[in-house]
Chains A and B, each alone.
Chain A
Amino acid sequence: MCNAEFPRLQSLYDKYRPLGFDMVAIQMDPDQNGRVAEWRTKGKYTFPVLLVPPPKGGLAKERDYAGAHYDVWLAPTDLLLDSTHKVIFRHVGSGAAVLEPEIRELLGLPPF
């Protein structure tokens, strides 16, 4: 389930933000925008949450923006961008454990 991962992503955000790392969460389904506030309060999340514009049609609504621009069709999917904002790593599924070594490498930190 996609939300199980966010507490761990929040701790990566807390740990690496002072070292040059940022995180945004893109909410894929415009119909669920009203639920974000509760979700955020419950999880005590501090990273920015971005809302996508309503769909233009064609693809299924919740995948319109993420699918068209990022080839992302499912939640959770994580994209890790290097400091020039190229997509270095893509992970479908709960990703905190595989993401941390990637983040460290991109920040120039030694591996564990």
Chain B
Amino acid sequence: MDKADALPLLEKAIAERPKHPDTLTMPDLDELQWSYARSLADAGRTDEALKWSMDVIAGTNHAIAELESSRNNPDEKRLAGAYSVDAQLDRLRERLGDRCAEFIPLLLKVGRSNLALKYVAMQERAAIPILDRRPELLASAAQMYEKLGRTDLAMDGLVRALAARLDGATRDAIAALAARTGRNADALYRRAAAMRSKSATPAYPFALVTDDGKPMRLSDLKGRVVLVSFFFPT
């Protein structure tokens, strides 16, 4: 199929999609809209492609913000179960990250470097909390920063990501970038550690009873690193 032929088909699909709100076998409306933006770019209709892409990405951001606010509402947590909300958030953040990663090269192609930087930052923010595809999306954001001549921002982003979670891939990315730019990786690791400890808040000092009837307080574990794991026996 010729790329330009995709446009009328996608237009039709976008118009039809809201009439079938419950159909799980069909792509989501925003996925169709994103395909449409991509087809516009392929067809050389760059201005329209830019506009569509920005609109779809703004919509994805909006959906994430809504879910985040529902997640932070205790009643919602109780009723809906934050688990499914977390899974949805992960999926939307991945989508946002992927869309930014795809959109940035188009912005570079038309010379919109400043706007591209904004979307790299967005990709990075989307990637930091997600579980599976985090290293890949973070690495591609760092690469884009470098391409835009901003190794400083690439490094800041990686350090922030390491402060959020100590995964080996992020640590390695910092080491590699530090080697290329003549910086000291250990100092950067320490900066990440300082960032995380600065933003950390004291844990509630529990005073409870163990299952074999002994009283136990958090302060009994003074000076120890402690994992508090919440569970149900069934």
Interface residues in chain A, defined as those with a beta carbon under 8 Å from any beta carbon in chain B? 2-3, 5-6, 9, 12-13, 16, 20-29, 32-33, 35-40, 48-53, 59-60, 62-63, 66-67, 69-70, 72-89, 92-93, 98-99, 101-103, 105-107, 111-112
* B205 cross-chain contacts in A, Cβ below 8 A: 85
Say yes or no: is B233 at the interface (Cβ < 8 Å to chain A).
yes
* A50 cross-chain contacts in B, Cβ below 8 A: 206, 208-211, 216
Given contacts A50-B209, A111-B171, contact A22 B165 (CB under 8 A): no
List residues 69-98 of chain B with CB under 8 A from any CB of chain A.
74, 77-78, 81-83, 86
Interface residues in chain B, defined as those with a beta carbon under 8 Å from any beta carbon in chain A? 74, 77-78, 81-83, 86, 131, 165-168, 171, 193, 196-197, 200-206, 208-211, 216, 218, 221, 223-234
A82→B210 contact, CB < 8 A? no
B77→A40 contact, CB < 8 A? no
* B77 cross-chain contacts in A, Cβ below 8 A: 63, 67, 73-74
Complex Cα–Cα for A87 and B208 (A): 19
Complex Cα–Cα for A6 and B216 (A): 21
With CB as the reference atom, state the residue of chain B lying closest to A42. Answer: B233
A85→B233 contact, CB < 8 A? no
Kindly name the residue among B166, B168, B205 whose own CB sees the greatest number of chain A CB atoms within 10 A.
Answer: B166
* B209 cross-chain contacts in A, Cβ below 8 A: 50-51
B231→A25 contact, CB < 8 A? yes
With CB as the reference atom, state the residue of chain B lying closest to A35. Answer: B233
With CB as the reference atom, state the residue of chain B lying closest to A17. Answer: B224
Kindly name the residue among A9, A32, A88 whose own CB sees the greatest number of chain B CB atoms within 10 A.
Answer: A88
B74→A67 contact, CB < 8 A? yes
The main secondary structure of chain A at its interface with chain B is mixed
* A33 cross-chain contacts in B, Cβ below 8 A: 211
Given contacts A3-B231, A99-B227, contact A37 B211 (CB under 8 A): yes
B234→A32 contact, CB < 8 A? yes
A21 to chain B, nearest CB (A): 5
Complex Cα–Cα for A86 and B168 (A): 23
* A24 cross-chain contacts in B, Cβ below 8 A: 216, 221, 226-229
* A21 cross-chain contacts in B, Cβ below 8 A: 224-227
Complex Cα–Cα for A78 and B83 (A): 14
A92→B167 contact, CB < 8 A? no
* B74 cross-chain contacts in A, Cβ below 8 A: 59, 67, 73
Complex Cα–Cα for A9 and B84 (A): 24
* B203 cross-chain contacts in A, Cβ below 8 A: 70, 79, 81, 85-87
Given contacts A63-B78, A67-B77, A88-B200, contact A106 B231 (CB under 8 A): no
With CB as the reference atom, state the residue of chain A lying closest to B214. Answer: A48
A105 to chain B, nearest CB (A): 6
A9→B230 contact, CB < 8 A? no
Q: A23-B226, A24-B221, A49-B210 are in contact. List 15 more A-B contacts (CB 8 A).
A: A3-B233, A20-B223, A22-B225, A24-B226, A50-B209, A51-B209, A78-B230, A82-B225, A83-B224, A86-B197, A88-B196, A101-B166, A102-B165, A103-B227, A107-B225
